[in-house]
Amino acid sequence: MATNKERFQRKVDRAHAARIKAEEFVADGGDLNSKEAVPLGIEMIEAWNDLSTEFGHPILEDIKQKSK
């Protein structure tokens, strides 16, 4: 089982990797408004949501909670 520090570091690393991928995409001439960028955007949002949830402030609404 991962410690809080290890879990937190994995989430930080995931958010950082998502940012780097988006930066590389743009540097290679990619358009962030294109359909090719959608997977990058989804990963970035999910990674940041996972990290912000550690602080008790998710950026995405939980669908399970909404349906109650």
- Asked whether the CA dihedral 38, 44, 47, 50 is positive or negative, the reply is negative
Residue 21 to residue 19: CA distance in whole angstroms? 5
24 inside domain: yes
60 inside domain: no
Q: How many domains does the chain have?
A: 1
DSSP H stretches of helix in the chain: 4-27, 38-54, 63-66
66 inside domain: no
Q: What is the pTM of this model?
A: 0.81
10-residue stretch averages of pLDDT, the chain, 68 residues long: 87 97 98 97 95 91 65
pLDDT of residue 66: 61
Smallest CA-to-CA distance from 6 within 48, 40, 54 is with: 54
Please give the residue range of the domain that contains residue 8. Answer: 4-54
pLDDT of residue 62: 72
